[in-house]
Structure 1
């Protein structure tokens, strides 16, 4: 008998389209001989709808991201712990059974999905799911608290100034000047490089903050790190947690950093390659730091850890992403493929690990 997985994606954040493309990658990798697949999209307004599980429906077309439309039957997840039946409401208002669900693969990115909110909803009704729990998801989404966890674990991070809603930039300018120039201005709780600006002149700081606030009222002003941008994929199997070989991001052309356009819309401007020129000691250090970062926030299932490698061998942790992308350009599956773990095996491992994980506190 086939088990059933819900692939949950879309959502209310500015990363809605990225989540849809990630869903297309996951939907195409699930073994349909082992799994009954149900696709549930969350619209930009927050409505859960039953949508196509065809991977081709969730691809970038003519430079445009796919979107979960408001068409389709409303999905009702379980209402109490121990219930596995998911239902839909028809246009006529009739409630029908959809499927008994064994596990959810939530590939939501950004707030209202990757930040512990959906994880909490699933925990309330004892639904197993892929990826980190409530606290790790929330900490991984909020760069201020993520960096606090890293510092507590003894991991090196860039110096920063955090501006909360209503804080005066003028009152913090001495702290900002101490960071030096350039700085990066980032929404504290956003991903896919949304709302990030590189600032080389303090006169440009207010405009950069205004851009970040479009995505989050809490903003980080962060010291720029010089070095190679290195990523590592972390994978939890039932009995162990392992780190992949590191990869590297190199941007070209007009992109000063790995911004949204370079990630998803301008493939020619970015080179994604395995960092196989690193010596064994550096590779081991980056792997150790990645696993320590994973543990520092209490992550589960999977994560991508991004670091900067300076010319003197110093490694600084940039961030952890508790639900990395599975798009055609995403490094997470590429890193595992380079190590001999193909996309289909990777997705199967994530599903099996989620199924074998205990419910409740762990």
Structure 2
């Protein structure tokens, strides 16, 4: 049987570059090499697409999440949109890499998870893992996602949205009156808790505003929800299924970037979460509803708060959740009966299925 050629696409210009490298490492090590021929395509921080032969030539310090780095390569890649058999050319030789059967994007954050990458691959007529352009764009924008989810009857945290042009008009006193303290300040279009601050005082507030605007032109200021942090994985296209939920018990003030990817003691994951059956069922149903409301396909992770009075509030949707060894998405499916290698196979199959329908 001929192997399918799968391009692992990772790295990128976003602050989540290192997370992406860790995800790519994990997927490459686990993917079935008897079934797939793998192309390693690493995007450096300047946006250049590079080709690598294996992990040793690709990653530096690949066992250290603090220091992991994309190595320089003497081979880069050019994409020929619309060409079916010679979509990718190796540079500087100009040699064709042949037809790519599917791309597995692992480019987290801006230009990878926000619809930009998906639009490029759609235009190039290449199947790819994960949600399409619309779902990726609206899910990445926390402000837009909240509006759509709320309109569909799903609970979201109260928040205020500000653009960079409004920066000088943002008043701590007015925001505090509406949202209370503590509150969270977030870039509207980033994941992995990049640029997020939990603030209580006036000084912290303006520091958090400035920090968030370093990452985006639009930010949201959100009320702090007192409750358990619950996450649920969704998998599928037209008929998605949801996993058992998991719970995050953080050692810090919130589930920060370091707690997710750097500090192994930064958070404790309880998988599956210890919950009553009726609550588990509600989480699974609302995760699928959110997935459908935002027109997701392939995969997504839905993050909730569960309050003391058992109300579920959606925190955010992640359309290309991390695939690192500490990542919740594959762990949730593992306890739900789908092992890591099988999960990768399923995602690739869903990508090809979706592409065939959309042609």
Q: Name which of structure 1's ranges 106-115 and 64-73 shifts more when overlaid on structure 2.
A: 64-73
The whole-number CA distance in structure 1 between the counterparts of 2:170 and 2:50 is 46
Q: Which piece of structure 1 moves more, 268-277 or 167-176?
A: 167-176
Distance 1:103 1:59, change over 3 A: farther
1:359: Cα distance to partner? Answer: 5.2
Structure 1 stretch displaced more, 168-177 or 351-360 = 168-177
1:256-267 equivalent positions in 2, closer than 5 A = 256-267=253-264
Q: Distance in 1 between matches of 2:291 and 2:161?
A: 23
1:177-221 C-alpha deviation (Å, 9 max, x unpaired): 211111000111111111111001133211011111121121110
Q: CA deviation at 1:70?
A: 3.5
Counterpart Cα distance in 2 of 1:258 and 1:208: 16
Cα drift, residue 279 of structure 1: 0.7
1:2-39 Cα deviation digits (max 9, x unpaired): 11000000001000110110011111121111110001
Once the two structures are TM-superposed, the CA of residue 268 in structure 1 deviates from its matched residue by 1.4
Contact 2:231 2:301 in 1 (8 A): yes
The unaligned stretches of length 5 or more in structure 2 are none
SS of the equivalent of 1:167 reads helix
Say if 2:86 and 2:97, in contact at 8 Å, map to a contact too.
Answer: no
Q: Give deviations 1:227-246, integer Å, cap 9, x for gaps.
A: 00000000116x63100000
When the two structures are superposed, what TM-score results if normalisation uses the length of structure 2?
Answer: 0.94
Counterpart of 2:140 in structure 1 is: 141
Pair 1:108 & 2:107 matched: yes
Runs of 4+ residues over 4 Å off in structure 1: 359-362
Q: Single out whichever of 168-177 and 262-271 deviates more from structure 2.
A: 168-177
RMSD of equivalent CA atoms: 1.9
Structure 2 distance, partners of 1:122, 1:53, is 23
Aligned to 2:354: 357
Are the structure 2 counterparts of residues 161 and 169 from structure 1 closer, same or farther at C-alpha, using a change threshold of 3 Å?
farther
The answer on whether the counterparts of 2:272 and 2:335 sit within 8 Å (CA) in structure 1 is no
Cα distance between partner residues in 2 of 1:308 and 1:84: 47
Distance 1:36 1:275 in 2: 34
TM-score normalized by structure 1? 0.93
Q: Evaluate the alpha carbon distance shift between residue 263 and residue 129 of structure 1 in structure 2; reply closer, same or farther with a 3 A threshold.
A: same
8 Å Cα contact 2:84-2:99 kept in structure 1: no
How far off is 1:54 after superposition?
3.0
Matched with 1:44 is 45
Secondary structure of the 2:109 match is coil
- Structure 1: distance between partners of 2:178 and 2:312: 21
Mapping for residues 240-279 of structure 1, pairs under 5 Å:
240-252=239-251, 255-279=252-276
Distance 2:86 2:177 in 1: 54
> In the aligned structure 1, how far is the partner of 2:60 from the partner of 2:343?
20
Spell out the pairing of 1:82-101 with structure 2 (5 A cutoff). Answer: 82-90=84-92, 94-101=93-100
Residue 78 (structure 2) pairs with residue 76 (structure 1)? yes
Partner of 1:13: 14
Structure 1 residues 1-362: aligned runs within 5 Å? 1-54=2-55, 57=59, 60-80=62-82, 82-90=84-92, 94-170=93-169, 173=172, 174-236=174-236, 240-252=239-251, 255-358=252-355
Quote how far apart the aligned CAs of 1:146 are. 0.9
Cα distance in structure 2, aligned partners of 1:78 and 1:129: 16
Secondary structure of residue in 1 paired with 2:114 = coil
CA distance in 2, matches of 1:132, 1:60: 28
Instruction: Give secondary structure in 2 for the equivalent of 1:100.
Output: coil
- Distance across 1 between alignment mates of 2:260 and 2:170: 35
| Alpha carbons 1:179, 1:223 under 8 Å: kept | yes
1:8 counterpart SS class = strand
Segments of structure 1 that go 5 or more residues without pairing to the other structure are none
